Structure 1
Amino acid sequence: MAEKKQNIKRTAKKRSPRKKKPKIILDNKRVLLLSALIIFLCAVFLSMAFVFSSPKKEKQPKVQNVEQQVLRQEQKNKFAEKNKVAENKNQPKNVQPEKKEAVQKPLEIQPEIKKVPVEKKSEEKKPQPVSKQEIKKDEPKIASVNPPAKKTEEIKVEKYSIPPAKNGATLVFIIDDGGYDTYNLKLYTSLPFPIAVAVLPKLAHSKDCAAIVRNSGQELMLHQPMQAQNLKLNPGAGAILPDMSLSEVYKQVSENIAEIGPIKGLNNHEGSLITCDVMKIGAVLDAVLDNGIFFVDSRTSAQTKAPQAALERDMKILERDVFIDDIISKDEMLAQIYRGLGIANKNGKVIMIGHVDKSAKILPQLLNDMYPYLKQKGYKIAFPSQIQK
């Protein structure tokens, strides 16, 4: 029994510390107090932060809103300026000062906007058409809206490097190799100035092309084929060949004139071999004289005897000065035309030759475009028959 009592006492002593509940209650109170203090301090800190930070956050949107108003007003002012330029002619007195007041309203709400750089830019761009005197000052600026038309005219005058005409400079354009195609031919016959078209004989469209040229009012010529010094080149049907007699030459030329005619003149197609033969080219000139037409030496050879044969017959002939389209390039053709202008200013006239199909994509349009400027610079354009004396 004594041992049991001792064991009970021991167990009681061991369990007693576990039953000290008041200490646990005290610890919970402290935790609650500490947590309450922490919550209170956090609340105080947040409220202070909100108090000190809220005015700054409120000011920024105000400034931003005012800046947006100013920017919007700038856009309205720019649009108003454009409308004023168009309306000031008919309504110079109807100025709208209310737009300036619309810009001033944000200044009354927030005077600190003067420090914003956006407003300074807007002040520089603001229109100030309040008084009638200021409107009169703006009128000359409005008059400067229409001058672009005069400037474009001045630019057009300088589009080509055309020198002023001298010595009554007269230009003659002959377009060779008609007879192959009627479409390309019409590109030349529709030009608004005099040209001559030389049509080849005995082609499928020779007579059609001759009729188109004649009906257009342009000058019709026979483009007489002749043998070149290069015997491999075929001059085509109706040509003057080296083995022909003088009577055969005369007969062939007369036959071709009758086919294409009535015509005003004749020039040679190729023919460097025939024009260098004074007898053969003389027979050609005999047919020219008998038919009452003029002759243009295309000068396919520098050794041509056509001038000598003409002198023997006491007749005057014309001579080609420039081949425009030896090279199919707009720049090269333009350079040859400029060269022709120089010859015309020196000698009083120039004969320039092109070809119907060879340069149809460039030359008709180029000549049509240059014509107003040539006319403005004082150049005359004539038929070959008009310059023969």
Structure 2
Amino acid sequence: MKVPVRIFTVPIPWSAKIAASIAATVVAAFVSTAAASPPARIAIIIDDLGYQADLDRAVLTLDSRIAVAILPDGPGATDLATRAARQRREALVHLPLSHVRSGDCETALCPRREWSAERMRQHLDRAARQVPHAVGLNNHQGSLFTADPGSTRRLIEGLVLLNRHRDKPLFVVDSRTTPHTQLAREASRAGIATAQRQVFLDHERSAEAIAQAWKRLIERARDDGQAIAIGHPYRETVAFLARAIPALEGSGIELVPVSDLTSATGPQPVPIGQAAPARAYRPSTE
């Protein structure tokens, strides 16, 4: 004779059911948010290109999300910029500016600190023509120039004038060669898409030093959500990046074009310089 088996259930109070439902919803939302949270983003710029063809070629073998900053008077500048464009790689005008160790540079590459905004525009236009398809610019050296608000403002005003006639305006990346730089501040104030360098990858060229700089870049990106590094076409840097970039897969860090990390705050109302003869330079009192 089979004895029926009774399954006894303990009634759950409605308050407990509600609490369990809320907890399940919170957990599901947390898991969903964690899964959907965007990765930290990094961008990399390789500076000082256009003068050494073998090093230029080596940089172009790296991931195409890495930008190239090209010195406009380099003998290989135009060819390199054209090849970068074929790779859909972003190119920047790497604009030389005067620095504290040698004072005002005398070459045709350098804008003079006393120039008017219109004279700055003419200089930037020439530089941009030497780097076809450029999408932005960053400064080469410039610790003297960018620390002066007046000179930097006229440079940015010149860029505003130039951008008015471009299909796609140039953005600005401040290389931050001095803690006193005004470049990002003035560009942002003028409503130009702007970003700043956080890490120099190869201030020291040894593999160990580059690895430590890379670690700082990753930590900065995790802390702030994004970070920009600048490197140079050293063989040690190229070899390191060739190994490090593929290793980012699945790390929660995404390599993006540098334009993805620029932002504009304006435009803000700033006086835009008009064509005028250059005046004698007077240090800004700001």
Q: TM-score w.r.t. structure 1 length?
A: 0.53
2:178 maps to what in 1?
301
1:362 maps to what in 2?
236
Alignment of 1:1-389 (within 5 A): 168-231=39-102, 234=105, 236-289=107-160, 290=163, 291=166, 292-356=169-233, 359=234, 361-389=235-263
Instruction: Specify which structure has the higher proportion of strand.
Output: 2
Aligned in 2, Cα 1:303/1:331: closer, same or farther, shift over 3 Å?
A: same
Q: TM-score w.r.t. structure 2 length?
A: 0.72
Greater relative CO (CA pairs within 8 A, separation 6+): 2
Aligned in 2, Cα 1:212/1:224: closer, same or farther, shift over 3 Å?
A: same
Aligned in 2, Cα 1:283/1:243: closer, same or farther, shift over 3 Å?
A: closer
Deviation by residue 1:119-154 (Cα, 9 ceiling, x = unmatched) = xxxxxxxxxxxxxxxxxxxxxxxxxxxxxxxxxxxx
What SS does the aligned partner of 2:244 have? helix
Aligned in 2, Cα 1:386/1:170: closer, same or farther, shift over 3 Å?
A: same
Q: 1:375, CA displacement in angstroms?
A: 1.5
Deviation by residue 1:26-53 (Cα, 9 ceiling, x = unmatched) = xxxxxxxxxxxxxxxxxxxxxxxxxxxx
Which 5+ residue runs of structure 2 have no aligned equivalent? 1-36, 264-286
Q: 1:234, CA displacement in angstroms?
A: 4.2
> Given that residues 193 and 381 in structure 1 are in contact (C-alpha distance below 8 angstroms), is that contact kept between their aligned partners in structure 2?
no
Deviation by residue 1:304-323 (Cα, 9 ceiling, x = unmatched) = 11233234323441000011
Counterpart residue identity of residue 199, structure 2: V
Partner Cα separation in structure 1 for residue 63 and residue 179 of structure 2: 33
Deviation by residue 1:305-357 (Cα, 9 ceiling, x = unmatched) = 1233234323441000011111110100110010000000011111000112x
User: Percent of pairs identical after alignment?
Assistant: 25
What SS does the aligned partner of 2:43 have? strand
Q: 1:232, CA displacement in angstroms?
A: 5.3
What SS does the aligned partner of 2:139 have? strand
Q: 1:246, CA displacement in angstroms?
A: 3.2
Q: 1:242, CA displacement in angstroms?
A: 2.4
Partner Cα separation in structure 1 for residue 158 and residue 103 of structure 2: 27
Aligned in 2, Cα 1:305/1:194: closer, same or farther, shift over 3 Å?
A: same
The 10-residue stretch of structure 1 (235-244 or 378-387) with the greater mean CA deviation from structure 2: 235-244
Q: 1:302, CA displacement in angstroms?
A: 0.4
Q: 1:254, CA displacement in angstroms?
A: 1.7
- Alignment: residue pair count: 221
Instruction: Specify which structure has the higher proportion of helix.
Output: 1
Aligned in 2, Cα 1:245/1:354: closer, same or farther, shift over 3 Å?
A: same
Q: 1:233, CA displacement in angstroms?
A: 7.6
1:26 maps to what in 2?
none
Partner Cα separation in structure 2 for residue 343 and residue 258 of structure 1: 35
Aligned in 2, Cα 1:375/1:284: closer, same or farther, shift over 3 Å?
A: farther
Partner Cα separation in structure 2 for residue 235 and residue 343 of structure 1: 37
> Given that residues 288 and 295 in structure 1 are in contact (C-alpha distance below 8 angstroms), is that contact kept between their aligned partners in structure 2?
no
Q: 1:203, CA displacement in angstroms?
A: 2.2
Q: 1:201, CA displacement in angstroms?
A: 1.1
What SS does the aligned partner of 1:229 have? coil
Counterpart residue identity of residue 182, structure 1: A
Q: 1:376, CA displacement in angstroms?
A: 2.4
